[in-house]
Amino acid sequence: MFKSSILLVSLCLGVVACDNFSWRIAGGNDAAPGQFPYQVSLRDSQLVHFCGGAILNNRWIITAGSCVIGKEPANVLVLTGSQSLTEGGTNIPADRIIVHPNFNDTTLLNDVAVIRVRTPIILNDDAFAVRMASDYLSIAYGALTSGWGRPEIDTPTFPDWLQYISSTVITHTECSGRFEPPYDERIAESVLCTANAEGKGTCLGDAGSPVVYNGELQGIVSWGIPCGMGYPDVNSRVSTHRPWVLVHTMV
């Protein structure tokens, strides 16, 4: 069970610290070329990765609210079309950031935001939009989470190559039962929990990254107990937030 001495954190290591810390997937595998064409890296003006995201269409990216709360679009770049942080792809400046109006920076509920890029993304085999899920997913095996977060909490660097893990989507009840109060109360119907064996899980720098099952975007990485310590990873449930996202991202 969760011990009070273990720090629960947003997967960008706290809402106010995303400029300095981010997560890599612990225990992940190298992505195959072209495997996750919807994955993007959010980076600062110095091209330093701080969070992940996913392409919704040629103008809009979905990510976690905790990744971009308080940030100015002028200081955010979106890397598309590359599985390497240092080679290939296109860095596109953001020109608008919209954080969910009910985002709570304490409980991390409604941890969703969308970013409009200044110029359209050229959609191709390397950069392609993901379809948002519309139905509630209770349990599933083989959901794929991708990202550039740290391999472990004590490793200060991100991997250059995109990583991924295959996870099990677990029920709301099971997820809540694996946390002690008050953290069990944060497992609302608007989140989607994924479970892995110890040693595998999301880590610093993975916040905002996509969780995809059966070709549909089911979750946006939000928070957890870093990194790969056997606790569920908690993601914003896309089907819950889909109506809000669609209102703001129509091209």
Assess if residue 5 is contained within a domain: no
20 within a domain of the structure (yes/no): no
pTM here is: 0.90
- Average of pLDDT values for 181-208? 91
Residue written as tokens 């610093």?
A: 204
Output the average pLDDT for the chain: 89
What's the number of domains the chain is made of?
2
pLDDT at 91 over 80: yes
**Both 105 and 153 in a single domain?**
no
Asked whether residue 233 falls in the same domain as residue 147, the answer is: yes
Q: Is the pLDDT of residue 219 over 70?
A: yes
Instruction: Kindly state whether residue 211 falls inside one of the protein's structural domains.
Output: yes
Please give the Cα distance from 9 to 111 (Å, whole number): 13
Same domain assignment for residues 96 and 158: no
Range of the domain at 78: 38-129+242-249
* Within-domain flag for 56: yes
pLDDT at 155: 64
Q: What is the mean pLDDT of residues 233-245?
A: 98
In a shared domain, residues 170 and 81 = no
Predicted pLDDT at 2:
34
Do residues 218 and 62 make contact, with C-beta atoms less than 8 angstroms apart?
Answer: no
Residue 46 has pLDDT above 70, yes or no: yes
User: 3-state DSSP helix/strand/coil percent for the chain, to nearest 5?
Assistant: 10, 35, 55
pLDDT at residue 152 in the model: 66
